[in-house]
Amino acid sequence: MSKKKKAPAVRRRRRPQREMSGFAPMLVVGFAGAALYSLGSAIIMALGIAPTIVLGFTGKGEFKAERLQCVGFCNLAGVLPFMYQAKLRGWEAVVGDAINIVLMFGSAAIGYALVYVGPMVAAFVLQGLNEDRLKKIGQQRQSLVDLWSHEVLGDREEEQKQNAGKGFIR
């Protein structure tokens, strides 16, 4: 019997799951929907959500999806009125006014601002909640000590060590 050499086990590396996997299809669907509504609106949309598209393709790190959605919703909220106007007045009229572009991009900036402020607010709220929980834990611990004495804390020996020599103090 010939001995076959065992081939070394090959480990397959898993591809890191991409948080943004649904962004491109949604973008395509969004454009298609807008184009059905009005071609001008689709052009305005493509122009207006440029910050979101940039973020979608360049964004990195944790919570990318949340950040993108946050910026995207804000950006869309700023673009939607101009898409409506583009259907009524034509997209050239809307693009012609620079302030409109500023407003559309500004809405994306609001999204970025929310991304920045949100965790700060959350930290503030969480801190408050933690303090409430700490109070409750203190009460719970005290009730256990009342029922089981300090031994339940497992610090009898430590206490004894700390109290050692106290009797000599006059």
Binding site for other proteins (CB under 8 A): 62-63, 66-67, 69-74, 76-78, 80-81, 83-84, 111, 114-115, 117-127, 130-131, 133-134, 137-138, 140-141, 144, 146-149, 151-154
| CB nearer other proteins, residue 96 or residue 138 | 138
| CB nearer other proteins, residue 6 or residue 128 | 128
Alpha-carbon gap, residue 10 to 149, rounded angstroms: 58
DSSP string for residues in 149-164: -GGGGT-HHHHHHHHT
| CB nearer other proteins, residue 1 or residue 129 | 129
Q: How far is the CB of 138 from other proteins (least distance, A)?
A: 8
Q: How far is the CB of 162 from other proteins (least distance, A)?
A: 18
Query: Considering just the CA atoms, what is the radius of gyration of the chain in Å?
Result: 31
Please name the helix (run of DSSP H) or strand (run of DSSP E) that holds residue 87, with its range, or none. helix 64-89
Burial of 43 (0-12, 13-18, 19+ CB in 10 A): buried
